[in-house]
Amino acid sequence: MAATKSQGQLLDWTTLDETVGVESNILDSGEGYDDSIKAMLHITMAHSDTNANTGTPGFSVLVRVGTTDEHWVEWMRLLATTTTANGQILAAASGTSQANPERIEVAATANFEGIGDRVFLCDEGDITNSTVVTIKDFVSNDYVVSMDDLVGDYDTSDYLYDVVDEWNIELPMSCDEAKVLFFNDDTDSEFAVRVDYSFVDAIS
């Protein structure tokens, strides 16, 4: 048996500022939610500064059970990790244009030595160029090795952060519209957030 699959994005990397909310685009028939056999949201919240977060940041997944906006209901609500992230500014240019595109150049690796850890590489100039990487290896106080080559280019104004939350959520098939609302009630800590989706469209 073979499955026909499709993927897409509802929200590219976006800054979730202090005490605000960020809403994703709606997943609906335009993307094929109503025709899919299985639909999943892939949601990421990454700390994007080193300020202590003592609030209750997180997100709600909402689905529409009728034809008007009053029919949006909360499918689930989940919270992100509240802590103080460790951050490390890049010590040299890293990424696609470098001789070793898998290397993230940092002067201190103390908080980025866990093999298999997922960490956030934040492009301070263009948040949409940011990425989550998996640590494959490191050379102490020199560089971190990503499991995969970096896709973008990063410079000495960009940061590596060590707190990332990721969720894979299956949507109810009794609905055909969904969206995500992120919230952050902390007064000085920011996140970067993103929402992707994937479908199984058919099985033959």
Tell whether 129 and 102 lie within a shared domain. yes
pTM comes to 0.94
If you average pLDDT over residues 107-133, what whole number do you get?
97
* Residue type (1 letter), 192: A
Please tell me whether residues 67 and 95 are part of one structural domain: no
* Mean pLDDT score, 24-43: 90
Looking up residue 8, the CATH number of its domain turns out to be 2.60.120.230
Q: Say yes or no: 40 and 140 in one domain.
A: no
**152 and 91 in one domain?**
yes
Beta sheet of 38-47, edge-to-edge order: 3-16, 191-203, 38-47, 164-170
Binned at pLDDT 50, 70 and 90, residue 174 comes out as confident
Total domains, the chain: 2
Task: Verify that 169 and 73 share a domain, yes or no.
Answer: yes
- 169 and 72, same domain (yes or no): yes
Whether the predicted pLDDT of 80 surpasses 70? yes
Range of the structural domain that residue 32 is part of: 3-82+165-203
- 111 shares a domain with 44: no
Structure tokens at 94: 């890293």
Q: Are residues 29 and 44 in the same domain?
A: yes
Closest CA to 80 of 182, 9, 161: 182
Pair (11, 48) in one structural domain: yes
Please provide residue 128's backbone torsions phi and psi, each rounded to the nearest 5 degrees.
-70, -15
Which pLDDT does position 160 carry in this prediction? 98
Tell me the C-alpha distance between 140 and 142, whole Å. Answer: 5
Same domain, 8 and 76: yes
Question: What pLDDT band is residue 131 in, cutting at 50, 70 and 90?
Answer: very high
Report the mean per-residue pLDDT for the chain: 94
pLDDT, position 204: 62
What is the predicted pLDDT for the residue at 5? Answer: 86
Strands 131-139 and 159-161: unpaired
Give per-residue pLDDT as tens, 50-78.
999 989 999 999 999 888 888 999 999 99
Q: Is residue 130 over pLDDT 90?
A: yes
φ, ψ (nearest 5 deg) of residue 11: -155, 115
pLDDT score for 1: 62
44 and 138 share one domain: no
Distance CA 121, CA 195 (A): 17
Q: Which amino acid does the sequence have at 2? A: A
- Are 150 and 106 contained in the same domain? yes
At 126, phi and psi to the nearest 5?
Answer: -150, 95
Q: In whole angstroms, what is the distance from residue 131 CA to residue 60 CA?
A: 22
